[in-house]
Amino acid sequence: MIAARVMRRMGRTPMPDAAVMPQSGHKPRLRWIIIGAACIFGIILVVGTLARIHARHRLHASNVAALVPSVTVVHPGGKATDTLVLPAILQAWYSAPVYARTNGYLRQWYVDIGDRVTAGQLLAEIDTPDVDLQLAGARAALGTRTAQRDLARITSRRWDRLNAQNAVSQQETDERRGNLAASEATRHEAAADVERLETLSAFKRIIAPFAGVVTSRATDIGALIVAGTAASQPLFTVSDVARLRLYVRVPQAYAARMREGFDAHFTVPDYHNRQFDAHLIHSSDAVDSQSGTMLVQLVYDNAEALLKPGAYAQIAFTFHGSGPQAPPSVRIPASSLLFRRDGTTVAVVDGRNHVRIRPVSILIDFGTELEVTGVAPQDRVITNPPDDIGDGDPVRPREGGHGA
């Protein structure tokens, strides 16, 4: 600095100090480089930390989501309170198996299955040689007993006249009267045996008990007929199919609505597009404790002879608001039920995707579906719920359709 002043005084321009000039120019640049590097390092550090925190949060969310079970939910079917559809069996109004009452061999049959018969019509004849011989012997024995009775009567009268003349003793007269009474009793016994065998002989003619249709024939010409044993089979079955009975088991929830004269409609598999009318005539007025149902009987007028006894039918009871109201019900899959200590329940998902356990009552069992009360059509019912599912558990629901 002193040298510079001296030179300026002397009129000369001082030369810059080479050692000083580079140091004063490089310091600011180095400072900015260090600051920039520190900023870049800080940014990298912050970005890495944020990435690790985000990844940790994602891992935690994944672990939490993995702990929440995924369930399938269905929406219950609509109400089924107006129509009740149940299975039924058609039976003949009268159905009688016709057995043989005498032993022998079948001589001839005159009707076959499907033939219409009238009351008293001859169905078959049985050849009964043993009974015929026994009847002939019984008639001969009756003749003998009749002759003995007649002789005893004549003898008794003769001794009565002699006793009146004091020609015989009273003891001998009483003996003759006793012989007459014994002979009369013996004749009655022989006559009863003849009547019994005549009745058995009459059974060789198999007749129809009432007008109807022959629905079975279990014999043929020459077949051995053995009557009165546990192994005896009916020779024919005659059924009155002019009217048919329908037996239906109605759930207890609908038992109060079953009154005599109630009309219903039913269908059968062999007439797909046709409905038949029937009306209720009787009910058992008792609920079966095992099935929880009441047996009712309906009648169908089968004047056209379209339907057959023994056929399966589906009968529909349609209610129009009369009588006590049936409980509101919906249909759900049978796989939705939970059997707990508290009773029969289902698991429902609420609006916050939490489980709510609700008790239900089963009205009708349709096999794969159930008609129940206790849930509404807008509820989301879990199908195949885990056994350990509890009230308030979080779940991830996925739609599975409708219950019905």
Looking at residue 11, its pLDDT comes to: 53
pLDDT exceeds cutoff 60 at 388: yes
Confidence at residue 168, expressed as pLDDT on a 0 to 100 scale: 85
DSSP letter for each residue of 295-355: EEEEEEE-TT--S-TT-EEEEEEE--S-SSPPPP-EEEEGGGEEEETTEEEEEEE-TTSBE
Whether 379 has a pLDDT exceeding 60, the answer reads yes
Q: How many angstroms separate the CA atoms of 144 and 194, rounded?
A: 13
pLDDT band at 327 (very low <50, low <70, confident <90, very high): low
Q: Residues 202-223: pLDDT tens digits?
A: 999 999 999 999 999 999 999 9
Q: What is the pLDDT of residues 242-272, one digit of tens each?
A: 999 999 998 887 888 788 888 889 999 988 8
Chain-wide mean pLDDT for the chain?
83
Instruction: Considering only residues 58 and 9, tell me which one the structure prediction assigns the higher pLDDT.
Output: 58
Is residue 334 within 8 Å of 368, Cβ to Cβ? yes
Q: What angle do CA 172, 176, 177 make, to 5 degrees?
A: 115
| First-last CA distance in the chain | 106
The two three-digit tokens of residue 182, written as one number? 């014994």
Q: Is the pLDDT of residue 376 over 50?
A: yes
Q: How confident is the model at residue 8 (pLDDT cuts 50, 70, 90)?
A: low
- Domains 129-203 and 239-318 alike in fold: no
pLDDT of residue 402: 55
- State what percent of residues in the chain have pLDDT above 70: 86
CA nearest to 80, candidates 372, 281, 294, 336: 372
Q: Where are the domains of the chain?
A: 100-126+207-233, 129-203, 239-318
Name which residue leads in pLDDT, 7 or 378.
Answer: 378
May I ask the CATH architecture of the domain 129-203?
Answer: Orthogonal Bundle (1.10)
Q: How many CB atoms lie within 10 A of CB 286?
A: 9
Give the residue with greater pLDDT, 192 vs 74: 192
Q: What's the full length of the chain, in residues?
A: 404
Which CATH number applies to 239-318: 1.10.10.10, 1.10.3720.10, 3.30.230.10, 2.40.30.170? 2.40.30.170
> What mean pLDDT comes out for the span 344-366?
86
Cut 0.75: pTM above it: no
- pLDDT for the residue numbered 14: 52
pLDDT at 113 over 50: yes
Q: What is the pLDDT of residue 298?
A: 93
Q: Which of 131, 306, 277 is nearest to 204 (CA)?
A: 131
E strands within 128-188?
Answer: none
